[in-house]
Amino acid sequence: MKQIDEQAGAWTKAFESGKFVRKSSEFRDSIEVDGTFDVESDRYHLYISHACPWAHRTLITRAILGLEKHITVDVVDWRMNPNGSWSFNPDEEGATADTINGEDSLEGIYNRAFDGWSASGNIGTVPVLWDKKHETIVNNESSEIIRMLDTLAQSGLGNGATLCPAQLKQDIEAMIDANYEAVNNGVYKSGFARTQSAYDEAVTALFARLDELEAHLEGREWLVGDGKGQLTEADICLFPTLVRFDLVYVVHFKCNLRRIIDYPNLQAFVERMLNQPGVRETCHWHHMKAHYFWSHQSINTFRIIPLGPLEGAHTK
């Protein structure tokens, strides 16, 4: 469940031979009918960042499944602290206070859930799924949180939609896995690489997978399912990376072999997702863009935020 000892000092130790290595998520409990974390309206709370692609998955899922009135949300400031921690700042447009625990920082939430969290050198990531009843973190792994939201939706709280139909579950998980290292994590491995070879390797794998996805989407609307496919978790997991790509990753993470706008099927996929009810409202363009360029001084010393691009999903 909680793997905090081996994860201590996550950001300082997160490089091997110049390669960025993402630490695994620490809180891995589940919402289950009749379980410790039972299905209940207004029991669970999401702490997210509008900048973060992993957190974005959970906000989109909440919107698509119609769970807004059942799950509350707080949003951290887009400015990440130099050690990688997040703060609450209700004075910032689009951000909020911690309306549940009254903490100033996300670390405070982690300390409430795990005594000695900060003392062990840990920081804490978004998203966080918080249980207001047991006053603890249920889970901080986005791919698992979105599955739990589906459990809530399947138990009568949502609008009847599912993003993980049983007959597609295997294909959905295979698609999510196939995109995770190369694309979702691949942009970070490109951008945070500390050797030329680590960068070359990550960017090559990233664009090889984007090329495959472009071909896969020919004549299809969604990644998984028969015919034109059907909107599933696999789409939710890919979209937050693609929607940040031209806005941020091309420049900031040097993912510049191509842009998404150069891939007709991927660009159409991004627009299709944006046109799903409630999805565009989950995209806070300023938080997305300003966060990366401002927060990662190791790769953008003077925190200059580029003016462009003029063209892209964020302009519509």
* Minimum distance, C-beta of residue 22 to ligand GSH, in the bound complex (Å): 7
Considering only CA atoms, which of 276, 273, 275, 247 is closest in space to residue 259?
A: 247
Active site residue 263: no
Tell me whether residue 142 or residue 230 sits nearer to ligand GSH (CB atom).
142
Amino acid type, 201: E
**Could you say which of 2, 4, 8, 11 contacts ligand GSH (CB under 6 A)?**
11
Annotated catalytic residue: which of 44, 47, 52, 199? 52
Binding-residue total with ligand GSH (CB under 6 A): 13
Task: Report the b/e string of 87-102 with b at 16+ CB within 10 A.
Answer: bbbeebeebbebeebe
Residue 25 found at the interface with ligand GSH (CB under 6 A)? yes
Residue 54 found at the interface with ligand GSH (CB under 6 A)? yes
Residue 84 found at the interface with ligand GSH (CB under 6 A)? yes
Q: Taking phi first (over 0 means left), then psi (-120 to 50 degrees means alpha), and beta for anything else, what does residue 9 get?
A: left
Residue 125 found at the interface with ligand GSH (CB under 6 A)? yes
Active site residue 52: yes
Q: Which stretch binds ligand GSH (CB under 6 A): 27-35, 97-105, 121-129, 278-286?
A: 121-129
**Could you say which of 52, 137, 146, 149 contacts ligand GSH (CB under 6 A)?**
52
Residue 129 found at the interface with ligand GSH (CB under 6 A)? no
Give the Cα separation of 281 and 161 in Å (integer).
19
Q: Which stretch binds ligand GSH (CB under 6 A): 29-37, 122-130, 152-160, 279-287?
A: 122-130
HEC letters along 21-76: CCCCCCCECCECCCCCECCCCCCEEEEECCCCHHHHHHHHHHHHCCCCCCEEEEEC
Q: Which stretch binds ligand GSH (CB under 6 A): 65-73, 97-105, 119-127, 259-267?
A: 119-127
Considering only CA atoms, which of 130, 103, 113, 122 is closest in space to residue 48?
A: 130
Residue 126 found at the interface with ligand GSH (CB under 6 A)? yes
Contact 86, 140 (CB under 8 A): no
Residues with catalytic function: 52, 188
**Binding positions for ligand GSH, rule: CB under 6 A:** 10-11, 25, 52, 54, 84, 123, 125-127, 140-142
